[in-house]
Amino acid sequence: MKAEWIARQSSRPQGWPGQIVARVMSYETIPVNRLALDELEVDDDESVLDVGCGHGRTLAALEREARAGFMAGIDPSEVMVSLASRRLRKARGRGRAEIQQAESHRIPYPDGRFDAALAVHVLYFWPDPARDLAEIRRVLRPGGRLLLGCRPDDAAARAALPSSVYALCSPEDVEKLLLAAGFDSVSTQIHQLGEAPFACARAEVGAAAG
């Protein structure tokens, strides 16, 4: 099982141990972040929010792919915000990217600001997932979409990840959370990455959302 202190640093890197964990995560999470981006299907001119943007690699990939769009990232960790800000320095200078230290239940953007959002490997760490999902929905425009990526609950995940830090959910429970938060057209794809499954739940904001 992952050591609890590493698990806690994974949820919110702090200090010099957090900087080490953050750099390891920046490489370990490349496959799942690439998969989430492919599932999100971002158009060239869209505005996208990365919730729990971490090291900023995903934002950098978005900035390269959505060449006329706007990329924003939020993360509660000062370590991660610093890493992402450096990685997106040029894009921020051009006004095409923005990084802020913020919690996902208090997103510092107005209603309907974004066309799309993604949140990868963060659901486990939310004490009240319904609150965070409702806040993400608030900042999405009508017709906007969310890609929520996580490792689904199974025996292998429970053996590898300490329950004191990771609150694992089944794909069915994730879909129920999304529907309860007001999302529509919820669907989930399960992908196998090496020995571990990874769930991509996609949801939309109804056109009449308010």
**Among candidate residues 126, 135, 108, the one with its CA nearest the CA of residue 174:** 126
Statement: residue 179 has pLDDT above 90: yes
Model pLDDT, residue 23: 76
The residues with which 50 forms a beta bridge, in sequence order, are 73, 118
Q: Determine contact, residues 123/169, Cβ cutoff 8 Å.
A: yes
Q: Count other Cβ atoms within 10 Å, centred on residue 180.
A: 12
CA dihedral 125, 128, 133, 138 (to 10 degrees): -130
Overall average pLDDT of the 191-204 stretch: 91
Give start and end residues of each alpha helix (H) in the chain: 4-11, 15-28, 30-40, 57-65, 78-87, 89-93, 129-138, 155-160, 171-180
Question: For residues 133 and 152, what is the distance between their CA atoms, to the nearest angstrom?
Answer: 17
- What phi, psi does 97 have (nearest 5°)? -150, 155
pLDDT band at 6 (very low <50, low <70, confident <90, very high): confident
Overall average pLDDT of the 191-206 stretch: 91
Per-residue pLDDT tens digits for 8-43: 778 787 887 778 877 777 778 888 989 999 999 999
Q: Count other Cβ atoms within 10 Å, centred on residue 27.
A: 10
Q: Count other Cβ atoms within 10 Å, centred on residue 37.
A: 20
Model pLDDT, residue 24: 77
Model pLDDT, residue 208: 62
Overall average pLDDT of the 109-127 stretch: 96
Fold of 4-204: Rossmann fold (3.40.50)
Q: Determine contact, residues 174/201, Cβ cutoff 8 Å.
A: yes
Give the position of tokens 């990874």.
198
Q: Which two tokens stand for residue 129?
A: 């997932």
Domain boundary assignment for the chain: 4-204
Report the run of H or E that residue 188 belongs to, with start and end. strand 184-193
Contacts of 26 (CB under 8 A, 6+ apart): 54, 55, 57, 83
Question: For residues 33 and 64, what is the distance between their CA atoms, to the nearest angstrom?
Answer: 15
pLDDT band at 209 (very low <50, low <70, confident <90, very high): very low
Chain CA centroid to CA 135, Å:
13
Dmax (CA) of the chain? 47
